[in-house]
């Protein structure tokens, strides 16, 4: 997992009137970074592939075609055929659905758990904070993938359970980050002012603090999606994620490793797809971080 | 130093306690009644009752936890239902293999990551910096199991230079051992090398901009002395902590790497255990890994404390 420290951003100052909004300014800065733009374009392209898989995939991802059995790439099957003659290109396109969906859903779940807990920990302080932090430390002490494998093992192998396992395993990252950000802003004047006019702690946390720490969380989310996609591919590669015959890039690699001498293309294209998508999310995350915090532009 | 140690251990103990609770809690994720699952498909009530009594499943959950942790503290991690051997024995057998892989991978990471980071910082904004950054991003974005498959395809299948899989103990044949471990160590080490590269680059950039480096240069010291003795030594301090943190990544990565290269270490043990529903082994591996990670962090903190004089004041 990417270190939490890498996205420790200063809290955005409250928006001054009649000025360009911070979001627009950040987006303008993001567009100035070539790497981030390339990352954004590639991510959007793969999202389109995933959403339009049924329309653009030339063949069914699960239907066997005995004439293309472990067939080398041809104009009809540009990425070749797999061990059952299924079109590898179509499976890569449909596999994007599982991989991107798993990446996004598991990070959403991690944020859903991590952000409220981090808000509580940072805002409440004292014993509550100590308890939550020790529990978070304990979760972080178990290597991310090993925790995900262990949970997927106990929950049972399926894409849904893999997403739950990855989401829970990634939640401590958001707890840590949210807590650190809350601690950085909770003594700011606008939080004091919100407290002084009688806002409840819950309202202060969600209405005043959260919007100001949101940019840092977004950067972390982007970088965590990259890790989650690799984690899903890893679980599927081990047979704990997407189950056959439905394709995912990890499960395609799992099958491909048994046919490396006869059909190496089965391993090449799903792997390249994972690499490109993860690289793009990393470029986008780096670009977002730089756009949101000028100190990182060294 | 003693106070620092006590403070760190005071934080470490509750963390270990929570780790044990989480790992014990994993068992509760099992769908349905674990006794029924373990008793076999016949679902014989007597067999189920025996399993319940044998594994203390008939007792309240906190009693089960107490018995489990009591056993762990005495080195009893339970028994593997597949191999019918104590889990502690399996862990002791597999641990040296994974440690060897982790050490070799860490060496690969250090040999690639640190010089790349230094070179990148020294040529900030020029082509060596761009090349190092691209390699860094490549290392961070490549799934190591895919890299493993590609390396087997190239170095074993195409060129026939290295064995595709298998493990030979270094005590048996050191050369064969190194031949079997070089690809897994490279596969596992490249991701960590990228992290080292990025952090070393960032730390070096910070150090190179400081006054004492300017002073060292103004004194007329050779550039290699300025970089090697003054800059790198200070920039390397945060990398010590990072090394311990990345060890966790190595253990995670080892699961897949050992699977691809058929190396009989911790990673292969946990994956085999998962598919055989050998939950005591899964729990044992997770607990050992987490404890190793926590202890390494403690060692890193101590090392950081020792090499950073500012913390001692």
DSSP labels for chain A? ---GGGG--PPPPPPPTTS--HHHHHHHHHHT-HHHHHHHHHHHHHHHHHHTHHHH-SS-SS---GGGTTPPP-SSSTT-B-TTS-BHHHHHHHHHHHHHHHHHHHHHHHHHHHHHHHHHHHHH-HHHHHHHHHHHHHHHHS-HHHHHHHHHHHH-SSHHHHHHHHHHHHHHHHHHHHHHHHHHHTTSHHHHHHHHTT--HHHIIIIIIHHHHHHHHHHHHHHHHHHHHHHHHHHHHHTSSSPTTS--HHHHHHHHGGGTTT-THHHHHHHHHHHHHHHHHHHHHHHHHHHH-GGG--
pLDDT band of A298, cuts 50, 70, 90? very low
Q: State the pLDDT at residue A64.
A: 81
Q: Which of B21, B143, B248 minimises the CB distance to A143?
A: B248
What is the nearest CA distance from A154 to chain B, expressed in angstroms?
5
B residues 110..129 contacting A (CB < 8 A):
124
B142 secondary structure, DSSP code: S
Half-sphere CA count of B165, side-chain side, radius 13 A: 15
Q: pLDDT at position B148, please?
A: 92
B interface mutation test: which of A36, A43, A142 has the most B CBs within 10 A?
Answer: A142
Angstrom CA distances, A206 to A117, A178, A191, B237, stand at 12, 12, 11, 38
Taking all residues of chain A, what is their mean pLDDT, rounded to a whole number? 85
Does residue A261 surpass a pLDDT of 60? Answer: yes
Q: What percent of chain A clears pLDDT 90, i.e. is strictly above it? A: 37
Q: Which of A188-197, A289-298, B185-194 has the lowest mean pLDDT?
A: A289-298
What pLDDT, in 10s, does the model give residues A142-166?
888 888 888 887 788 889 989 999 9
Strand partners, A87: A81
Nearest CA in chain B to A252: B146
Task: Report the first-to-last Cα separation within chain A, whole angstroms.
Answer: 23
Which residues of chain B have a pLDDT value below 50?
A: none
Interface contact flag, A260 B149, Cβ < 8 Å: yes
Say how far apart CA A223 and CA B53 lie, in whole Å: 47
Q: How confident is the model at residue A56, as a pLDDT?
A: 92
Residue numbers in B near A155 (CB within 8 A): 29, 31
* DSSP per residue, B90-112: HHHHHHHHHHHHHHHHHHHHHHH
Query: What distance in Å separates the CA atoms of residue B20 and residue A142, rounded to the nearest whole number?
Result: 11
What local confidence, expressed as pLDDT, does residue B311 receive? 62
Residue A15 has pLDDT above 60, yes or no: no
Of B141, B252, B297, the CB nearest to A279: B141
The whole-number pLDDT of residue A31 equals 85
| Per-residue confidence band for A14, with pLDDT thresholds at 50, 70 and 90 | low
Express each pLDDT in A29-79 by its tens digit. Answer: 888 888 889 999 999 999 999 999 999 999 888 888 788 778 788 888 889
Chain B residue closest to A147 (CA)? B286
- In this complex, which of A267, A270, A275 lies closest to B141 when CB atoms are compared? A275
Residue of B nearest to A169 (CA): B22
Full-model pTM? 0.84
Instruction: Report the pLDDT value the prediction gives residue B81, as an integer from 0 to 100.
Output: 78
With a cut of 90, say whether residue A272 has pLDDT above it: yes
Q: What average pLDDT does the segment A255-284 reach? A: 90
Residue numbers in B near A240 (CB within 8 A): 274
The model's pLDDT over A69-99, given as tens digits with 9 standing for 90+, comes to 787 888 888 898 888 889 999 999 999 999 9
Residues making up chain B, counted from first to last: 313
Tell me the residues of chain B between 25 and 84 that have a Cβ less than 8 Å away from chain A.
Answer: 26-27, 29-31
Q: Supply the pLDDT for residue A46.
A: 94
Contact B141 A149 (CB under 8 A): no
- Token pair, residue B303, equals 């090392």
Asked whether residue A4 carries a pLDDT value surpassing 50, the answer given is no
Distance (Å, rounded) from C-alpha A100 to C-alpha A71?
27
Chain B hits for A141, CB-CB cut-off 8 Å, are 15, 19, 248, 290, 293-294, 297
So what's the pLDDT on residue A70? 82
Of A134, A151, A298, the CB nearest to B18: A134
Interface membership of B165 toward A (CB under 8 Å)? no
pLDDT number for residue B273: 85
Tell me the pLDDT tens digit for each residue of A207-236.
888 888 888 888 889 889 998 999 999 999
CA dihedral of residues B122, B125, B131, B133 (deg, nearest 10): 90
Among A150, A256, A261, the residue to mutate for chain B (most B Cβ within 10 A): A150
The predicted pLDDT at position A52 comes to: 93
What does the longest C-alpha to C-alpha distance in chain B come to? 86
Query: Residue A3: what pLDDT?
Result: 43
Residue B5's pLDDT is what?
80
Interface contact A237-B152, CB threshold 8 A: no
User: In this structure, is the dihedral angle defined by the CA atoms of residues A285, A286, A289 and A291, taken in order, positive or negative?
Assistant: negative
Report the range of poorest mean pLDDT among A57-61, A129-133, A291-295, B22-26: A291-295
Range 222-251 of B in CB contact (< 8 A) with A: 245, 248-249, 251
- Structure confidence at residue A11 (pLDDT): 53
B256 touches chain A (CB under 8 A): yes
């Amino acid at each position: 997992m990417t270190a939490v420290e890498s996205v420790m951003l200063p809290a955005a100052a409250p928006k001054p009137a009649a000025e360009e909004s911070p979001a627009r300014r950040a987006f303008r800065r993001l567009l100035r970074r070539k790497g981030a733009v390339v990352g954004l374009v590639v991510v959007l392209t793969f999202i389109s592939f995933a959403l339009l898989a049924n329309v653009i995939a030339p063949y069914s991802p699960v239907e066997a075609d005995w004439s293309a059995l472990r067939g080398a790439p041809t104009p009809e099957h540009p990425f070749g055929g797999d061990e059952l003659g299924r079109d590898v290109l179509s499976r890569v396109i449909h596999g994007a659905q599982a991989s991107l969906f798993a990446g996004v859903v598991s990070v959403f779940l991690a944020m859903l758990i991590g952000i409220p807990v981090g808000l509580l920990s940072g805002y409440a302080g004292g014993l509550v904070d100590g308890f939550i932090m020790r529990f978070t430390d304990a979760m972080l002490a178990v290597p991310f993938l090993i925790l995900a494998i262990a949970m997927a093992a106990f929950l049972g192998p399926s894409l849904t359970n893999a997403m739950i396992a990855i989401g829970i395993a990634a939640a401590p990252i958001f707890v840590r980050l949210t807590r650190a950000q809350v601690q950085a802003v909770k003594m700011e004047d606008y939080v004091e002012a919100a407290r002084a006019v009688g806002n409840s702690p819950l309202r202060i946390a969600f209405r005043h603090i959260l919007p100001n720490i949101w940019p840092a969380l977004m950067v972390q989310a982007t970088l965590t999606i990259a890790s989650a996609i690799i984690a899903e591919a890893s679980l599927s590669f081990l047979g704990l994620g997407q189950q056959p015959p439905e394709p995912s890039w990890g499960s395609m690699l799992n099958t491909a490793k048994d046919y490396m001498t006869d059909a190496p293309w089965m391993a090449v294209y799903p792997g390249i797809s994972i690499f490109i998508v993860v690289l793009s999310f990393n470029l986008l995350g780096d670009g977002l971080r730089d756009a949101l915090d000028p100190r990182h532009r060294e | 130093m003693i106070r620092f140690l006590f403070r760190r251990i005071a934080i470490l103990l509750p963390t270990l306690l929570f780790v044990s609770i989480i790992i014990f809690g994993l068992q509760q994720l099992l769908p349905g009644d674990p006794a029924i699952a373990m008793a076999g498909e016949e679902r014989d009530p007597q067999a189920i009752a025996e399993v319940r009594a044998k594994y203390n499943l008939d007792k309240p959950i906190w009693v089960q936890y107490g018995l489990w942790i009591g056993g762990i503290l005495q080195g009893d991690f339970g028994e593997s239902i597949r191999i019918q051997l104590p889990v502690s024995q399996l862990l002791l057998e597999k641990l040296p293999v994974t440690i060897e892989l982790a050490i070799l991978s860490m060496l690969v990471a250090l040999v690639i990551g640190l010089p790349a980071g230094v070179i990148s910082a020294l040529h900030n904004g020029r082509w060596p910096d761009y090349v190092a950054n691209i390699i860094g991003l490549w290392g961070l974005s490549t799934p190591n199991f895919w890299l493993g498959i590609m390396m087997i395809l190239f170095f074993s299948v195409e060129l026939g230079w290295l064995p595709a899989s298998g493990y030979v103990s270094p005590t048996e044949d050191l050369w064969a051992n190194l031949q079997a471990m070089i690809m897994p160590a490279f596969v596992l080490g490249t991701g960590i090398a990228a992290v080292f590269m990025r952090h070393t680059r960032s730390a070096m950039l910070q150090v190179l901009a400081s006054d004492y480096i300017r002073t060292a240069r103004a004194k007329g010291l050779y550039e290699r002395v300025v970089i090697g003795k003054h800059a790198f030594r200070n920039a390397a301090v945060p990398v010590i902590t990072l090394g311990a943190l990345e060890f966790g990544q190595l253990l995670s990565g080892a699961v897949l790497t050992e699977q691809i290269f058929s190396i009989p270490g911790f990673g292969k043990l946990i994956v085999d255990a998962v598919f055989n529903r050998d939950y005591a082994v899964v729990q044992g591996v997770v607990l050992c890994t987490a404890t190793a990670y926590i202890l390494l962090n403690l060692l890193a903190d101590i090392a950081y404390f020792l090499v950073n004089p500012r913390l001692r004041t």
